[in-house]
Amino acid sequence: MTDPRDAADVCATLYAFAQGIDTRDWDLLETVFTDPFEYDYTSHRADAAGVLTPAEWVGARRRRFATMTATQHSMTNPRVVVDGDTARVRMYVEAWHLADIDGVSEWCTIGGEYHDELVREGDRWRISKLCLDRRWTVGNPAVLDLPT
């Protein structure tokens, strides 16, 4: 059985991931990953998978989210399984993205699940694999594709 303290600490890492993006706290965002880590966003973009360092991931997010006026990532219903110093998590995500396009405030929201893996490094949990299973999109998808 998963220790509730471990489950809470794992969730805190994932919430810090969302907070780092939404508040543009790039230093915080960089601390939530192992170095390197694996990502898979192919459910959203066919070519969006690979292995990156935290600095590479954050640099790409800085450029992408600079095109947006605001974002809000809400994650709920975590299902955490801890086995020693590794954890697997499934968690719902709803991510709002807002941007001005030709002087008009536009939005696009995606929803689905994260299927993540984390490892314990000392007294912290860090994301070793970040996997988005996008299930739906509403709004103007151009918000997600503005030139960086």
- CB crowding 49-82: b at 16 or more within 10 Å, else e: eeebebeebbeebeebbebbeebebebeebebeb
Q: What is the pLDDT along the chain (148 residues), one digit of tens a residue?
A: 789 999 999 999 999 999 999 999 999 999 999 999 999 999 999 999 999 999 999 999 999 999 999 999 999 999 999 999 999 999 999 999 999 999 999 999 999 999 999 999 999 999 999 999 999 999 999 999 999 8
Q: Are 57 and 51 in contact (CB under 8 A)?
A: no
Round to whole Å and give the CA distance between 2 and 35.
25
Structurally, what CATH architecture does the domain formed by 4-145 represent?
A: Roll (3.10)
Domain boundaries, the chain: 4-145
Contacts of 142 (CB under 8 A, 6+ apart): 101, 106, 108
**Its pTM surpasses 0.75:** yes
Nearest-5° angle of CA 130, CA 113, CA 121? 35
